Structure 1
Amino acid sequence: MQPAPTVPADDQAIATGFEHFYETLRRLTPRGPLSLTAASTLRRLERSGPHRLSELYAPEGISQPAMTQLVTRLEKEGLAQRTADPTDGRAVVVSITPAGRAAVAHRRAVRAAALSELLQGLTPEEHAAVVAALPALEKLSDLATTRAS
C-alpha cells in the first residue's frame, strides 16, 4: 500500500465535508429503478446533449462494456435512444428521450424537496453561505468532468 499523499489541512477538511454531504445526498435520493450511474448518465445527456457511447463511460468511471449494457437497458426502458452519428455513419450517438428527461426531473424534484426541508434548519447566514458557494462547486464539477474526459 502506498503512503497517503500530503494534502493541505483545509483541502482535507473540504474532502471530508464533501464525503459527508455526498452520503447525505445519497440518502435523500429517491429509491427507484435508476442506479446512480444510470441517473448520472441521463443527467449528462440532458445537460450536454447527445454523446457517442465512447464518450460516456470514462466520465462515469465504468468500462465501455458496462456503459454499453447500461445504455441498452436505458434504451429498453425508453429513457435513452441510439441513433446514427450524423457526422460519421459508422458511429452511434446516445441521447435522452422525453421519458428520460421526466425521470431525471422527478429524481431532482424529490431530492430538492427533501433538501429544502433540511435547509430550513439553517440560519439565514448559513443558507446564504451555501448559495454563495454554488458557483465554486459548479466549477469544481466542471473541472472534474473535464479531467475525466
Structure 2
Amino acid sequence: MTEVDTERLTRVIVDFNTIFIRLPSVQRFNFSTLSVLHTLSRSGPLRLTDLLATEQLKQPALTSLVAKLEQDGLVRRRPDPADGRAILLSLTPAGQRVVRSRHTNRVAKLTQLVDQLTDAERAVLAGSIDVLARLTELAEDA
C-alpha cells in the first residue's frame, strides 16, 4: 500500500483553499453568503433544514441570511410540492449569474496560475483531478 502523508496533504489543501477562496473576484460577498449560493447551485432547491446540514451556521443566522438573499433578489422561496407546509429555497436568475460569474472568474485566475507550472507539474495536477473528485465523493458520503 502506498503511503500518503495525510498531514502534509491536509496542510496543502487548507493552504490552497485559503488562497483560492480569496482569489479576487468582481463581486464581493462574505463566505457564508457564497457558501449558501454555491450549495443551492449544486444541490438544487433545498429546505432550510437541508441547508442547515451543509452550512456552518445556526438556524437564526441562516434564516436571517436567507431573508437577506431573498431581499437582494438572489434566492427565492416557494412551497415544497411534496409538503405544502415546507418551503424550498432556490437561486433566482440573478443568484445563478453570481455563481456563474464567480466560477468563470476563478477559472481564469486558476488558469493563470496553472500556466506557470512546468509540463511535468501540469501532468501531475491533471492526474490528480479525478483523485480529488473521488475524495470529495467519499467525504460527501461519510
CA contact (8 A) 1:59 1:145 kept: no
Q: Equivalent of 2:129, from 134, 138, 149? A: 134
Instruction: Label 1:127 to 1:103 Cα distance change in 2 as closer, same or farther (>3 A).
Output: same
The 8 Å contact of residues 29 and 107 in structure 1, kept in 2 or not, is answered as no
Partner residue, 2:97:
102
Q: Which amino acid aligns with 2:58?
A: S
* Length, aligned pairs only: 140
1:31 to partner: Cα distance: 6.3
Alignment of 1:1-149 (within 5 A): 10-30=5-25, 32-147=27-142
RMSD: 1.8
> Could you tell me how far apart the structure 1 residues matched to 2:124 and 2:4 are?
21
Q: How far apart, in 2, do the equivalents of 1:70 and 1:132 lie? A: 38
* Worse-matched range after superposition: 29-38 or 87-96: 29-38
Q: 1:41 is matched by which residue type in structure 2?
A: V
Q: CA deviation at 1:48?
A: 1.8
Cα distance in 2, alignment partners of residues 53 and 146 from structure 1: 20
Structure 1 residue 23 displacement after superposition: 1.7
What is the CA–CA distance in structure 2 between the aligned matches of 1:126 and 1:118, rounded to whole Å?
12
Q: CA deviation at 1:127?
A: 1.2
